[in-house]
Structure 1
Amino acid sequence: MKDKYHNTMGFGWWRLVGAALAGILFFHGLCLSEKAPNYSFTHEATSAPEVSYYDYIIVGGGTAGCPLAATLSQNYTVLLLERGGSPYGNPNITDLAAFGAALSDLSPKSPSQRFISEDGVINARARVLGGGSCINAGFYSRAATDYVSKAGWDGQLVNESYRWVENKVAFLPPVRQWQSAVRDGLLEAGVVPNNGFTYDHINGTKVGGTIFDRDGHRHTAADLLEYANPSGITVLLHASVHKILFRIKGKSRPLAHGVTFRDALGMKHRAYLKIGSKNEIIVSSGALASPQLLMLSGVGPSQHLKAHNITVVLDQPLVGQGMSDNSMNAIFVPSPVPVEVSLIQVVGITSFGSYIEASSGENFAGTAPPSPGRDFGMFSPKIGQLSTLPPKQRTPEAIAKAVEAMSALDDAAFRGGFILEKIMGPLSTGHLQLQNRNPNDNPSVTFNYFKEPEDLQRCVNGIKVIETIIESKSFSQFRYDSLSLPALLNMTASFPVNLLPKHNNASTSLEQFCKDTVMTIWHYHGGCQVGRVVDHDYKVLGVDALRVIDGSTFNYSPGTNPQATVMMLGRYMGVRILSERLANDKPK
């Protein structure tokens, strides 16, 4: 029996209702995509006064920050500080066919900032209003009901918050031949039942949502600012926050009361909380920048802070701990027939803790074919997804060599797609540390992929399911019968990306395959976890008037893709904060 917190869209006649709603949302998405919103409250930080005052200051206009700011602005004045620019008008963000172009752009003005973990896996973080929802592969799927329960969230408000998000950004994807074959192959492989189209996280095979509308236009967390009260919100772009300011009197707890930030010209500004016992600063800067900013502000491991000449406000050794990244491994399947361009649409949620997904076709990175700009979309070495070499050998020179080899391939090489597996959790964790005191530079982060044996076994089991899909009757039209799984795992001469590195031994174990070909699926989290750095109301332990609300608070990544839950969390906590304040402000 389903518990009362579970959305029932995935079952029975609710599927038909869901499909009908998706059709309405498609039309809604078409209307939205015709004209980008003209937010009167959005300005360049260069226009900001030297000193300003607000009820709430939110650091980070990303996947959580935008819905949070929009919600709080209904009753209070909100300043939303975003270090990047606007996503609107940038086809590398808005167009599905250009996926990967933003991730491969390494310029200082790119909406994506590359970083390389100490494990050697190349990754990316967002630098744009809307955050990771502007540069991801678009899959939209809710968290599991047991995740909601373990998080201690109110199920009814969770569902209401998801729907609030979905009214603006979620759509039914057009499932065509490749994705349909993967779906049917999953069912043949025993990843059952067939749950149809649903946003819910249910064991079996399903079609999930997408933030791309039917015309292939992306909708992002920035669109949720349409809910904002224009008179209650100020959004500043290219505003880089350098420090949270604290008041410390005697033996009382440190009180957050302001921030310092710099604009695009390097000019310094200060924003303070208005006098009021309930006003707060909320950090929503993501899994890298949130723990980084706490440390830069003096909240973190004291010895580490002192090593960087940072005055210690609070010795909090757990800031930056518990960093995790969901590993991804993929197999390229060359096709004898053309395939459509698709990102993630279908997912198999297995009982053993691995998620099976797929993408297909050639993405052109914003350029018309035939062009050196062609690539394999979310598995292109241009964006750092180079699995022909083990992680620490993925140097800039190696990437350049792979890109050159890819550009020389015959057009037939680009017919096909990838079937991938991502492990649940994961159980393996690492840590984050400062490299310097510049908030715009990447911190040092270690994820310790496959440190826990269970994570490695989940990867192996996922690859075995992929083998069954490839060999299934449903997938036969997209398979060269002469290519077995071992051949697919070991071929590198003709396909220089995302396949198993050559080894001296005749065959390589699936365990070694997982280790050598590990990539990111950009779902890293941790660093400010609930129960360790923040409490269950997301208030930073040991200080006052400061919260962290974003993916850095997660102990595990929710569902098959976290973006829906991160957007939901921004709305959810905004409603919670408003409700608590309004209740306290009522006359007794």
Structure 2
Amino acid sequence: MWWPFALKYPERQPEDVDANEYDYVIIGGGTAGCALASRLSEDPSVSILLLERGVANNTWISRVPLISSNILNPETGAVNWYSEPMKECDDRKSLIFRGDVLGGSSRVNAMVYTRGSVADYDIWSSMGHPEWSYEKVLPYFKKAEMVLDQSKSDARGRSGPWINQTIEPSNWPFRVVRVAKECAEALGFHHITDTNSTDALCDGFATLDLTIDQNMQRVSTLEAFLPRETALKREKNLSICTASIVSRIEFSREKANSRAKRVHFQSSISKSRKTFSVNVKKEVIVCSGATGSPQVLMLSGIGPRKHLEEHDIDVVRDLPGVGSELWDHVSVPVTWEVPVVESVTYIATSPLKGALEFFKYLLTRTGVLSFPFQVASLFVRSSSLDDQTSEFTPGIPSKPPDPGDGASVLRNHDHLPDIEIMPLATSAVDDLEEHKARFAKIGVFSFLATLLRPKSRGTVRLRSVDPLDRPKVELGFMADAEDIALARKAIRLSLRLGDEMKAQGFPLIRGITAPESTANDAELDALIKSRARTTYHYSSTCRMAPEIDPLAPGVVDDALRVHGIPNLRVCDASIFPHIISTHLQAPVVMVAEKCADMIKESHATKI
């Protein structure tokens, strides 16, 4: 990379590890994979191979918050492809993004650190996963994090490797977001200063924790768990092999079960399609994300029998749940034109302004570049909103019950927000051509109206048996009529906030995807169908559930082992039995921390 002060990261190439044997092979060095590899490699007596499709890209510029959050720039490590046509959304295609880089999506995302509510995990427990209740997962959240500026709390960690902090509203780089906060409060919403507190309100405008350190640099799971110094220190027992894409896991038959015995892979950047392989002594752990993990399993013969046979793949284990329950936070952008100075656009329209912001960040760690695109969000329960106007009227208590009240109190989801409104000083429209043609030179402000607990599901399926091919992603948005009704409420609330901003004198010049009226359901439905998009919060494609489950077929057990294959686990957002009502990166790291402990415990007598 061009930045001259980047120190070389200790990456190995496929040919360097070919034919070796390892105790653990981790497939995917992303958000979960880096954390898991770090924890397992703490024991110098075990050997670990971490296979990552991308490269390290460990440059200084990759830690600048705003620049590294630009997922449209391939230099960040973000990759994209189109979903399959969305049948209920005018047959449009939405852009699928993920981070193909060491550290994964934690290298390119909005850096939001939110765990979700106590209720999220107690619902998991009530679904038959008692070891995943909030009480049981809290120690793993605390173990991972180092919070810099929240009040002392038994729920927050202060000695972990993963740094986060909040940015005071007075320091937010764009006035429009501060105005949005003031308008939300004018509509009756309280300010939430710690979204990760056990007693955080369910309805409120939240100042978000962000994975940014004291020097206003991004802290991905690469920097937190596998920084260069750690990787160098552990080179004897941890091999980090980048630019490596897994083609399949090979299994042997032992009694009634199959066991993973070998992993085959090839270079993801070389034109040569030469295949390499390594032997597995103990376990394979797939950490390739909710779109990548089901692809790896299906290429290896684990998945829906009919689909595998269509691709002439030998069926090792018929698991219909693999790739079958894609759950995402669908969103609709409600956008206005604003003065250029009020939006991110202003640093792109003037080379001088861009240069000034760059040197401001370089010398003082301040300015627009020191922040990600998102610093705050409005979380709301739809039960608190009027159906026709989305006027906010608190109904059931906004404060969640004490965790000790039991899961039965939480089963009805009354203590979970199901809408998030993200104020963004940029366009949130995901049509790239439209973005370039219409929004590249004007100021744009968006409320990204997001459904946190949609009913609709999608699928991830193989496009071909070539591991380099991106999988087919059917998002399935708006297939359930309840989602459309919920989206109307979210849009109406966004428009109410916009009206309040205008009333307070903020210059929302004209609506771009913001209709003038909130009364017409047909107009709102047309907006939903024409603008619904992914929020990149993919989960549940390898659900933690029994193979036969009332909600949907499961793929892994409570120890994250794939059913019928005792030495194969999955460790990422794909294992969520129910989607979390917030951003997913913090829960993913919790899963990795817990998985590491379960692996260590299961092999404690054998190491």
Shift of 1:442: 1.1
Cα distance in 1 between the residues matched to 2:498 and 2:312: 55
Match of 1:256 among 254, 257, 260: 260
Cα distance in 1 between the residues matched to 2:251 and 2:521: 59
Say if 1:322 and 1:206 are closer, same or farther in 2 by CA, change over 3 A: same
- Given the alignment of the two structures, is residue 142 of structure 1 paired with residue 85 of structure 2, yes or no? no
Q: Deviations over 1:335-390 (max 9, x none)?
A: 358326452211121112111111115xxxxxxxxxxxxxx4xx36xxxx12xxxx
Shift of 1:461: 0.9
The residue type paired with residue 89 of structure 1 is T
Cα distance in 2 between the residues matched to 1:312 and 1:95: 45
- Given the alignment of the two structures, is residue 358 of structure 1 paired with residue 429 of structure 2, yes or no? no
CA contact (8 A) 2:68 2:107 kept: no
- Given the alignment of the two structures, is residue 169 of structure 1 paired with residue 163 of structure 2, yes or no? yes
Say if 1:157 and 1:236 are closer, same or farther in 2 by CA, change over 3 A: farther
- The equivalent of 1:51 in structure 2 is 19
The residue type paired with residue 219 of structure 2 is H
Shift of 1:70: 0.6
- Given the alignment of the two structures, is residue 294 of structure 1 paired with residue 297 of structure 2, yes or no? yes
TM-score with structure 2 setting the length: 0.74
CA contact (8 A) 1:115 1:442 kept: no
Say if 1:71 and 1:214 are closer, same or farther in 2 by CA, change over 3 A: closer
- Given the alignment of the two structures, is residue 98 of structure 1 paired with residue 67 of structure 2, yes or no? yes
- Given the alignment of the two structures, is residue 489 of structure 1 paired with residue 514 of structure 2, yes or no? yes
Match of 1:272 among 272, 279, 296: 279
Say if 1:37 and 1:115 are closer, same or farther in 2 by CA, change over 3 A: farther
The residue type paired with residue 567 of structure 2 is A
Greater Cα shift, 552-561 or 343-352: 552-561
Say if 1:337 and 1:238 are closer, same or farther in 2 by CA, change over 3 A: closer
Percent of pairs with identical residues: 24
CA contact (8 A) 1:349 1:356 kept: yes
Q: Deviations over 1:282-335 (max 9, x none)?
A: 001011111111111011122221221111111222211111221111222333
Cα distance in 2 between the residues matched to 1:401 and 1:488: 12
Match of 2:376 among 314, 325, 346: 346
CA contact (8 A) 2:185 2:205 kept: yes
- Given the alignment of the two structures, is residue 74 of structure 1 paired with residue 42 of structure 2, yes or no? yes
Q: Secondary structure at the match of 2:514?
A: helix
Say if 1:110 and 1:63 are closer, same or farther in 2 by CA, change over 3 A: closer
CA contact (8 A) 2:5 2:60 kept: no
TM-score with structure 1 setting the length: 0.76
- Given the alignment of the two structures, is residue 89 of structure 1 paired with residue 59 of structure 2, yes or no? yes
* Structure 2 gap segments, 5+ residues each: 87-92, 125-129, 147-161, 345-371, 383-417, 546-553
- The equivalent of 1:22 in structure 2 is none
- The equivalent of 2:82 in structure 1 is 115
Shift of 1:436: 0.6
CA contact (8 A) 2:69 2:373 kept: no
Say if 1:435 and 1:138 are closer, same or farther in 2 by CA, change over 3 A: same
Shift of 1:420: 1.4
Cα distance in 2 between the residues matched to 1:185 and 1:476: 8
CA contact (8 A) 1:157 1:572 kept: no
- The equivalent of 1:562 in structure 2 is 584
Shift of 1:186: 2.0
Cα distance in 2 between the residues matched to 1:288 and 1:527: 8
Q: Deviations over 1:65-111 (max 9, x none)?
A: 111111111123211100101131173x4333325644343x9x954
- The equivalent of 1:225 in structure 2 is 226
Cα distance in 1 between the residues matched to 2:503 and 2:450: 21
Say if 1:533 and 1:53 are closer, same or farther in 2 by CA, change over 3 A: same
Shift of 1:478: 2.5
What number of residue pairs does the alignment pair up?
A: 491
Cα distance in 2 between the residues matched to 1:508 and 1:155: 41
Q: Secondary structure at the match of 2:42?
A: coil
- The equivalent of 2:488 in structure 1 is 460
Q: Deviations over 1:437-469 (max 9, x none)?
A: 111211112121011122222211111111221
CA contact (8 A) 2:343 2:425 kept: yes
Q: Deviations over 1:258-293 (max 9, x none)?
A: 20111343432211122xxxx211001011111111
- The equivalent of 1:319 in structure 2 is 322
Match of 2:599 among 577, 581, 585: 577
- Given the alignment of the two structures, is residue 304 of structure 1 paired with residue 312 of structure 2, yes or no? no
CA contact (8 A) 1:425 1:557 kept: yes
- The equivalent of 1:205 in structure 2 is 205
- The equivalent of 1:469 in structure 2 is 497
* Structure 1 gap segments, 5+ residues each: 1-32, 362-375, 387-398, 492-499, 501-505
Say if 1:222 and 1:154 are closer, same or farther in 2 by CA, change over 3 A: same
- The equivalent of 1:433 in structure 2 is 461
Say if 1:209 and 1:474 are closer, same or farther in 2 by CA, change over 3 A: farther
Q: Secondary structure at the match of 1:98?
A: helix
Q: Secondary structure at the match of 1:171?
A: strand
The RMSD of aligned alpha carbons is 3.1
Say if 1:199 and 1:87 are closer, same or farther in 2 by CA, change over 3 A: farther
CA contact (8 A) 1:171 1:209 kept: yes
- The equivalent of 1:189 in structure 2 is 187
- The equivalent of 1:503 in structure 2 is none
